[in-house]
């Protein structure tokens, strides 16, 4: 069902991209848009993790450079039944985290230095468990691909604002202006349809993986206000990156790709008291350096 829904949503974005191409270039414009959309899908499929990590200037760490943080992710991945992902730290004071990659075998997880400074050990473990929940649920590829295509739709619509061409038959300035206004909004609706339900799923999976839903609720409460006040550098440069994070930055609830943080916290608290952490997570907590310095 998730695969079918994902295919339908990506097809809808591609169709919207083609419609814009037709509006501004006729049949030839639609064909070019189809080729571009197909190329973007293929490129993003194979390079989603590289795109996102380069966008954040993320630094890969291992047992030698950050043994405590890396060990925590390793033990959580084992609890989740996942292959070991690559682990990254992003030098950014804004507290946040994300996961990327086309499948669990090629996944990567990252946390900002701001998050590692702010949260205690249980909360860091819960956040990284949430990101591994995205990996296990195979959300990471979809979010990155949708962001790429939606960004392209916004780009071509904005381009049309300056070149109000038509479909090769004289042009329709009103249609061009409508496309500029409607296309990015339509793409945003599709992003919301994909991401909002999946955040609840990742929260639930993360609580199960770390064994402590209240730690994840506490982490979300701490991150939310700080992320709104100080967005990550990547979001400042590319707003589409906001949907990748556990908590988005400076986006109104109407246009957010995430549910309201208060609703997510309530859902986690409703899961009941924290269960006893699994032994692997307990060992990781005993030696974690939250700054990831090793």
- Comparing C-alpha atoms, which of 141, 150, 108, 190 is closest to residue 42? 141
Residue the block writes with tokens 């571009």: 36
Query: 82 Cβ partners below 8 Å, 6+ apart?
Result: 104, 107, 132, 135, 136
Alpha carbon distance 66, 71 (integer Å): 8
**Between the CA of residue 36 and those of 10, 33, 186, 258, what are the distances in Å?**
14, 5, 19, 28
Which of 60, 91, 131, 199 is labelled catalytic?
Answer: 131
| Pairs from 224-230 (Cβ < 8 Å, separation ≥ 24) | 224/261, 226/94, 226/95, 226/114, 226/118, 227/94, 227/95, 227/96, 230/93, 230/94, 230/114
Q: Phi and psi (nearest 5°) for 58?
A: -70, 145
- 131 is known as an active-site residue: yes
Alpha carbon distance 193, 24 (integer Å): 27
**Between the CA of residue 99 and those of 25, 121, 152, 251, 255, what are the distances in Å?**
37, 19, 22, 20, 21
Radius of gyration of the chain (CA): 20
Q: What distance lies between CA 162 and its chain's CA centroid? A: 31
- The structure tokens listed for 74 are 């390793």
Active site positions, annotated: 131
């Amino acid at each position: 069902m998730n695969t079918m829904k994902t295919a339908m949503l990506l097809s809808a974005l591609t169709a919207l991209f083609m419609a814009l191409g037709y509006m501004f270039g006729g049949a030839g414009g639609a064909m070019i848009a189809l080729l571009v959309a197909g190329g973007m899908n293929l490129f993003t499929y194979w390079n989603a993790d590289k795109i996102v990590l380069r966008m954040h200037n993320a630094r890969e760490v291992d047992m030698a450079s950050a043994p405590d943080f890396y060990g925590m992710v390793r033990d959580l991945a084992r609890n989740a039944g996942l292959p070991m992902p690559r682990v990254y730290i992003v030098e950014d004071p804004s507290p946040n985290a994300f996961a990327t990659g086309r499948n669990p075998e090629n996944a990567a997880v990252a946390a900002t230095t701001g998050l590692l400074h702010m949260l205690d050990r249980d909360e860091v473990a819960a956040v990284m468990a949430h990101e591994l929940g995205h990996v296990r649920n195979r959300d990471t590829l979809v979010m990155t691909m949708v962001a790429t295509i939606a960004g392209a739709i916004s780009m071509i619509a904005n381009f049309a604002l300056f070149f109000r061409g038509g479909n090769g038959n004289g042009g329709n300035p009103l249609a061009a202006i409508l496309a500029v206004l409607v296309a990015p909004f339509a793409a945003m609706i599709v992003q919301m349809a994909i991401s909002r339900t999946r955040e609840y799923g990742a929260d639930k999976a993360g609580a199960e993986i770390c064994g402590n839903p209240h730690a994840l609720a506490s982490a979300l409460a701490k991150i939310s206000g700080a992320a709104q006040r100080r967005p990550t550098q990547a979001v400042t440069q590319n707003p589409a990156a906001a949907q990748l994070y556990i908590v988005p930055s400076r986006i109104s609830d109407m246009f957010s790709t995430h549910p309201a943080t208060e609703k997510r916290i309530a859902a986690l608290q409703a899961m009941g008291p924290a269960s006893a952490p699994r032994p692997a997570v307990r060992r990781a907590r005993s030696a974690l350096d939250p700054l990831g310095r090793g």
